[in-house]
Amino acid sequence: MSSGAAHRSVGSVVEKLGKDSGFTLIELLVVVAIIGVIAAIGVSQVMRARLSANETSAIASLRAINGGQMSYASAGGQGGFATSLAILATPCAGGVTGFISPDLDPAAPGVTAVGTGVIKSGYTVDMIGNGTAGSPDCNGAITNTDYATTAVPLTLGTSGQRGFNSAGAGTIFFDATGLPTGTTPIQ
């Protein structure tokens, strides 16, 4: 193909496109609006999924504490329960690991502690001794006849919707308003 033929063919393409090529401003605005609506729907779905995942993590944390307390009572607590997460995370003398995972230990490196509790997946998870004083554990710490655990959302509606609590019986209860005083057992 000669350079003259190539020039004519490009010229004819440009003439055919002319004013009719491209998008109008209205067409672009409609496309942007549609993308915006789809993105808004997606963001709300992601937020709901995050709330659900945080609540699941809070429930799992309370289950881990309940299991750790049962192990602690039978192995190191002389039948009594630990009175704090720090005590529950401490191994017996000569032991290597505590009764709960390090992510629930307020003294563990990298864990965000709040008072005697920890912040985990958008929830403040804490535990206190409850009941009457019992015998000393394997490390000399005084045990209690019961305990109370709570998991409360850091920001209600953003990091979690429901509050959770449990005690020595092992049942986990929830409160739909985010308080740690729920009386409805989870299913």
C-alpha 93: how far from its chain's center? 32
Percent of the chain residues topping a pLDDT of 70? 89
Which one, of 59, 55, 98, 54, lies nearest residue 75 by Cα?
Answer: 98
Q: Which of 6-15, 105-114, 137-146, 176-185 shows the lowest per-residue confidence on average (mean pLDDT)?
A: 6-15
pLDDT of residue 2: 57
Tell me the three state secondary structure of residue 101.
Answer: coil
* Confidence check: pLDDT of 45 > 60: yes
Can you tell me the distance from the alpha carbon of 132 to that of 169, in angstroms, rounded to the nearest whole number? 16
pLDDT score recorded for residue 22: 83
Nearest to 68 by CA among 105, 94, 93: 105
* Structure-derived torsion over alpha carbons of residues 109, 111, 114, 117, reported in degrees to the nearest 10: -100
Contact predicate 145/81, CB 8 Å: yes
Which is nearest to 157 in space by CA: 174, 177, 173?
A: 177
Residue 16 in this model has a pLDDT that exceeds 60? no
pLDDT above 90 (res 42): no
| The amino acid at 87 | I
pLDDT at 43 over 80: yes
pLDDT at 175: 97
142, pLDDT greater than 90: yes
Query: Is this structure's pTM higher than 0.85?
Result: no
117-134 confidence digits (pLDDT tens): 999 999 999 999 998 999
